[in-house]
Amino acid sequence: MEPIRRGDSDDLFEAVVSQDSVMRWLATGRADSRSAAEAMCDDHVAHWTRHGYGDFAVRDAATHAFLGRVGLRNRAQHGVDLGFAVHPRAQGRGIAGEAGGACLDLAFRRLSLPAVFAFVLPGNTASIAVLRRLGAQADGTVQSSGLQCLRYRFTPAATAAAEHVVDDGGANLQLIHAPGPGSPEDKAVRDGLPDPSGVNGFGLVWADKQHTLTAVSEGRPVGSMGWLLRDMAFDGLPRRAAGLGGVLVHPAHRGRGIARTVISVAVEHARAAGAETMVLLCRPDLVPLYTQLGWSRLSVPVTVQQPDGARTSPLTTMIYDLAGLPHPTISVDLWGLPF
């Protein structure tokens, strides 16, 4: 199992995209063209870049024959889901189950995701059987890609550990989720910098985080961030929101996509905790990064509490919608300290 690359498009076409018996259970519902397979590969590559996880090309260990694609896909309105599509000639050999189990191992042991979902069309009994063998529980129905699907949920406690590992692109990264503002070891990420986040000059008093996600590489913390969950006011109406802050990667480990992966996983923890919207206060120079990750910039004033009273935030506000709610058009009040 290796991350899908652009060069896998011909294999993906032959094994999956050209096969009516496979595509009938996927979003398009029918076999498609080579150009569609190329677009799918581009989409998979972009997903890996954005989140640090995604779909894998699954190959026979002995012959290197392409057997299908299996992986984790992050959907803004639904969370992370496990999906698989296996060549008809390779079906019935337990490939989807083995590869799916490896993906769940990646999701829960390496990334510390709180939950993984799966969406399957009614009548796809073979895929449902695979999901159940992997420990999924029925979780109602949902609209996915314009189709009414059955939803299944995996949780760490109910999912058996995989017997095989995957090549996740050499990230060599493990994420650890913990309640509270972080451990003393997290200070190693700051590398003695007086203002690692570049926000001390704004003179703000910040709230303690309720949750922390730490990225560890080779036994050492290399990145961290925190978030808190509270009611906030969007255009005067209460909304359950999660404030993300303290995003930091050790200078020696920047450029590896660590921040992108930790942000993606933090969003899923906030979703699992009941957040409807994510909120982030950031420096203007970081706006392009968060825009690439699917966050939107707000143009309305944002009020934050400080020891001497309410204040308009001097930082750019970004939000990430989790529940299809409208963006504010008048104002946002954090109802507390910034994060």
CB atoms within 10 A of CB 7: 9
For the residues 115-143, what does the mean pLDDT come to?
96
Confidence of residue 146 (pLDDT cuts 50, 70, 90): confident
- Can you tell me the distance from the alpha carbon of 143 to that of 152, in angstroms, rounded to the nearest whole number? 13
Asked if pLDDT for residue 188 goes beyond 80, the answer is: no
pLDDT of res. 16 = 95
Residue 247's nearest CA partner among 338, 339, 119 is 339
- Can you tell me the distance from the alpha carbon of 275 to that of 42, in angstroms, rounded to the nearest whole number? 31
- Can you tell me the distance from the alpha carbon of 334 to that of 290, in angstroms, rounded to the nearest whole number? 20
Element holding 270 (H helix, E strand): helix 258-272
Convert the pLDDT of each residue in 206-225 to its tens digit.
999 999 999 999 989 999 99
Start-to-end CA span in the chain (Å):
39
Q: Which amino acid is at 327?
A: H
Helix (H, G, I), strand (E, B) or coil at 243: strand
pTM assigned to the model: 0.90
Q: What is the mean pLDDT of the chain?
A: 91
- Can you tell me the distance from the alpha carbon of 227 to that of 243, in angstroms, rounded to the nearest whole number? 5
- Can you tell me the distance from the alpha carbon of 174 to that of 298, in angstroms, rounded to the nearest whole number? 32
User: In the chain, pLDDT over 90 holds for what percent of residues?
Assistant: 83
CB atoms within 10 A of CB 40: 20
Helix (H, G, I), strand (E, B) or coil at 203: coil
Confidence of residue 200 (pLDDT cuts 50, 70, 90): confident
Helix (H, G, I), strand (E, B) or coil at 75: strand
Q: How many CA atoms lie within 13 A of 323 on its CB side?
A: 14
pLDDT of res. 162 = 45
